[in-house]
Amino acid sequence: MQNRLLIKLMTIGILVVLVGCGDINQLEASQPPLDEIENGGQTEFLDLSESEFFKNTDETLPILTRFNDMVVGKGSLMSPAEDVLISLQGYGDSAERMAAVEWLAFLESYDQDKVIFDSIMTDLAELIEVYGEDPHKYDQISDMLEWWDSELYVEYGVYTQEMAEKLDEIATNCGLSLQLGEDIWQDIGNSNEELFRVVGTGDFLGTSSSVQGGMAHNSGLFRFVGVSDLSILRDGHYTFESRPKGIFYNMYSSISDMDIFEDWIYETASGVVVLIASSEHNSLIFADLPNSFVNISLLGDTAQALEDFADSIDFSMLMM
């Protein structure tokens, strides 16, 4: 218990440096952007300016949202100030996205000079130095941190009572719960069958994709790395994440330039409408399902390749 407390307290310091941005850049980090290909030992830069890279294949489909409707804030210490953060939980006026907008706006205005944070970290370091060798004193450390409440706020980088109360207020107003208690992650292995068993779904990958490894969280979130064997894809590697609705996760992705992305709505073979956003470097596919929000990251590719890939995922199996 004592070691756990110290680890959690120090984790707060790390999370605050991230300005509450949880898994920021986690999509991009898993897939290094590529703007060149190897051809017989020669490097060729891809020129997509004259291609049909971003066609809207069906103008009759309703425009449910646009990529810009996913922006929740601007860059943090983990990314340049001109970068924007996008929601990984929902579109437009969804409760999850609006909670993210409000929380990030609060963080941007709160303790800007980090005087409060630096003071708390100084006091914490002194407490650990004084009581570090005496396990009976750990409760005194916990008692001095009045905002500490069953580890509830660790995932949000909260370090004062005022921050905790604001987070509670936002979650309540948006009708959301917070990511509660202890993190429990389960390895989903590297087989499709094990993935479906752990997350409790039917086969949503079919025969064209194979799981390379991933984790499932006790809150219902799961993520994995997969490989598609569709030959039309520039690179078959992708990351897949599904987050249950009703919980406010402190997770975003950083985008350096929204203007280089083209986005369009596409109805997949499974009958689920998705949003596809792609640049020469990266592509993102989002599915707003009744009980969860899915985001998939892969390399930039042609519109046809991305639509074929979206067709290979049976999103309807995630709705059962």
pLDDT digits (tens, 9 = 90+) for 83-97: 788 888 888 889 999
Helix (H, G, I), strand (E, B) or coil at 116: helix
What pLDDT does residue 285 have? 95
Q: Which tokens hold the place of 206?
A: 């079919």
Distance (Å, rounded) from C-alpha 70 to C-alpha 255? 11
Q: Which one of 157, 178, 199 terminates a domain? A: 178
Q: Is residue 171 part of a domain?
A: yes
Distance (Å, rounded) from C-alpha 66 to C-alpha 314? 23
Q: Which amino acid is at 225?
A: V
Q: Which tokens hold the place of 149?
A: 């409440």
Higher pLDDT, 307 or 116: 307
Distance (Å, rounded) from C-alpha 84 to C-alpha 100? 13
Closest CA to 252 of 75, 88, 17, 73: 88
| pLDDT bracket for residue 161 (50, 70, 90) | confident
Higher pLDDT, 80 or 30: 80
- 245 with 157, same domain: the answer is no
Distances (CA, A) of 123 to 35, 58, 119, 145, 203: 48, 60, 6, 10, 52
Q: Where are the alpha helices (DSSP H) in 175-290?
A: 192-199
Q: Is residue 123 part of a domain?
A: yes
**Average pLDDT value over all residues in the chain:** 75
Closest CA to 162 of 179, 146, 180: 146
How does 151-179 read in b/e, with b if 16+ C-beta sit within 10 Å?
Answer: ebbbbbbbbbeebbebbeebbeebebebb
- 286 with 145, same domain: the answer is no
Count structural domains, the chain.
2
Q: Which one of 162, 178, 194 terminates a domain? A: 178
What pLDDT does residue 2 have? 40
| pLDDT bracket for residue 103 (50, 70, 90) | very high
Q: Which amino acid is at 2?
A: Q
Q: Which one of 178, 205, 236 terminates a domain? A: 178
- 139 with 286, same domain: the answer is no
Q: Which tokens hold the place of 170?
A: 């936002």
- 30 with 14, same domain: the answer is no
- 156 with 217, same domain: the answer is no
Q: Which amino acid is at 263?
A: D
- Domain residue limits at 125: 2-19+108-178
| Sign, Cα dihedral of 240, 97, 178, 75 | positive
Q: Which tokens hold the place of 47?
A: 């020129």
**In the predicted model, is pLDDT for residue 172 greater than 90?**
yes
| Cα within 13 Å of Cα(79), Cβ side | 24
- Residue 204 near residue 317 (C-beta atoms within 8 A): yes
pLDDT tens for 121-142 read 787 777 667 666 565 665 665 5
pLDDT tens for 39-62 read 333 333 333 233 332 333 444 433
Q: Is the pTM of this model over 0.75?
A: no
Q: Which tokens hold the place of 189?
A: 């292995």
- 65 with 78, same domain: the answer is yes
- 237 with 128, same domain: the answer is no
- 169 with 124, same domain: the answer is yes
How buried is 317 (Cβ within 10 angstroms: 0-12 exposed, 13-18 middle, 19+ buried)?
middle
- Residue 72 near residue 102 (C-beta atoms within 8 A): no
- 287 with 151, same domain: the answer is no
